Amino acid sequence: MNTVFCLSALLLVSAAAYAADDGSRAPTAPGDAKAAAAKPQDEVICKTYPPPVGSLLGARRICHTESEWRTITKDSQDAVNDLQTRARTGRLPPGN
């Protein structure tokens, strides 16, 4: 049960991170290879997370590099996919 809760929280955080992109990066036109090549991989991207439901306080701003955000997103997706696969096959971690 604890593992399911942790993975659910991880999924919510990653979904919020994806949805809360504050638009600090300028969108690039598709096929604009020069702009993509000139863009550094270590550009810092900050995302603002809303406060908890029912509260006006507690909004957070989290900053990572683009490669770190990619890693966080990939790790979150892998954890959710692993949990879903285990649930389908009946091989949930102990304690659930």
The per-residue pLDDT for range 38-65, each reduced to its tens digit, is 566 689 999 999 999 999 899 999 999 9
The position carrying tokens 């490669």 is 67
Q: Give the SS3 label for residue 46.
A: strand
More confident of the two residues 1 and 14: 14
Residue 88's pLDDT is 87
Q: Which of 52, 44, 49 is nearest to 16 (CA)?
A: 49
Whole-model pTM: value is 0.50
Handedness of CA 71, 76, 77, 78 (dihedral sign): positive
Confidence of residue 27 (pLDDT cuts 50, 70, 90): very low
Average pLDDT taken over every residue of the chain: 73
Residue 89's pLDDT is 86
